[in-house]
Amino acid sequence: MVQIVFIDSEGRRRDAQVSEGLSLMEGALANRIPGIDGDCGGACACATCHVYVEPEWLARLEPPSELEINMLKMAVEPKPNSRLACQIRATPALEGLTVRTPISQY
């Protein structure tokens, strides 16, 4: 299990244990993290699992694919540290990864 920290738009922190190999979106849904909808089920076909990755973690992630970059254009208030949680897999190297959820996914 990999501990992932989700912080909502109001600053509330929720720690989630995510099984290694699952996406952050899958882990968020399993842990009932508010603010992660995952409407497409992880197919990178919507932007309802949009998160802001804390800057110190960005270099540790695989770069986003062209598909993810294009899908992020549909997200609410995308920023340079925006990612889709469905495209980030939990690995031991990401223990303690901190992401923030936007005020809205729509």
Q: What is the pLDDT of residues 35-46, one digit of tens each?
A: 999 999 999 999
User: Is residue 18 in a domain?
Assistant: yes
Mean local confidence (pLDDT), 77-103: 97
- The pLDDT, as a whole number, for residue 106 is 83
Residues spanned by the domain of 17: 2-100
56-83 pLDDT tens trace: 999 999 999 999 999 999 999 999 999 9
Share of the chain above pLDDT 70, in %: 100
Dihedrals phi, psi of 99, to nearest 5 degrees: -130, 155
Domain count, the chain: 1
Residue 90's domain is classified under what CATH number?
3.10.20.30
Whether residue 106 is contained in a domain is answered as: no
Nearest Cα neighbor of 50 from 97, 21, 22, 8 is: 8
Quick one: CA torsion of 42, 44, 46, 51, rounded to 10 degrees?
80
pTM, 2 dp: 0.95
